[in-house]
Amino acid sequence: MFGFVHGGIDFAHKLDGASSPTESYYKHVHAFYEIVYFVSGDVHYTVESVSRALEPGDLVLIMPGQYHFAVVNSDVKYERYVLKFPRADIPAFLDERLKNRSPFFGTGREFESTFSRFDSYYDFGNFDEDELTAMFLADTVKLLVMLAREPADAPHQTNFVIAEMVKYIDENIRRPISLDALSEEFHFSKSYISNEFKRFMKIPIMQYVRMKKIIAAHQRILAGEKKSYVAEQFGFDNYSTFYRQYLKMIDEDVLLRPAHPKK
């Protein structure tokens, strides 16, 4: 087991014992890549509108901006590797090829050797932090190349109503999005939309919309745009409200923080 945080990456090999608290599997969205390689346990994982009961050797690829969470049976030990790294560390062509893939890869133990190397790099003890970062990222890029070439995705369940709503929200992220607008677009009652979304996604739909807007806004801030301008572009009428919510999300993970934030 190891935990390594340096140079914008957060790589870990984790083992939670039976009855461990499960707060760390909370529902969230962030602006960086995340890979979860499942070793063992009893876990049901959801990424946006698709979900799967994980099997040993499964790999979950979470693209920047994708909402996700795990439902974990805390009576069973949960072992996995978790890799978090900025989008900027990935070649643009890979980012483009991976963005429309399913998040679930049921490849058995095909990639086990890659993750075993991570253990060996860390345990060897003779590499400094910059060397470890370079080695971790080099193997991760190789892994992503292989994932982009995978011909088939792991079987999973898709909620097609939720999938259409997620697509609509992503495509209209700069526009005002309300329950009224969603009801008119999809010809469902507001109560049906609210209840169905909460049932599957475990989060109120308008909270989901705010999270996605803040993450999309964060991408523009990282590109150098001023926070006040970005808040206006993404439909936040009250800058103070936006800034409080933005800071809260950034404070929850160091990888979200821009190197040179602009007011």
Range of the domain at 249: 159-256
| pLDDT digits 0-9 by tens, 224-248 | 899 999 999 998 888 888 888 888 8
Residues 175 and 100 in one domain: no
Shared domain for 127 and 243, answered yes or no, is no
pLDDT tens for each residue of 178-199: 999 999 999 999 999 999 999 9
**Domain final residue, candidates 103, 125, 149:** 149
How confident is the model over 141-163, as a mean pLDDT? 88
**pLDDT mean over 142-165:** 88
Q: Is the same domain home to 85 and 215?
A: no
Tally of structural domains, the chain: 2
Residue 46 has pLDDT above 70, yes or no: yes
257-261 — which CB contacts under 8 Å span 24+ positions?
A: 258/218, 258/221, 258/222, 261/221, 261/227
Residue 42 lies in a domain: yes
Which pLDDT value is given to residue 257? Answer: 41
Confidence of residue 258 (pLDDT cuts 50, 70, 90): very low
Strand (E) or helix (H) holding 16 = strand 9-16
Give the pLDDT confidence score for residue 254 in this predicted structure: 43
pTM of the model: 0.86
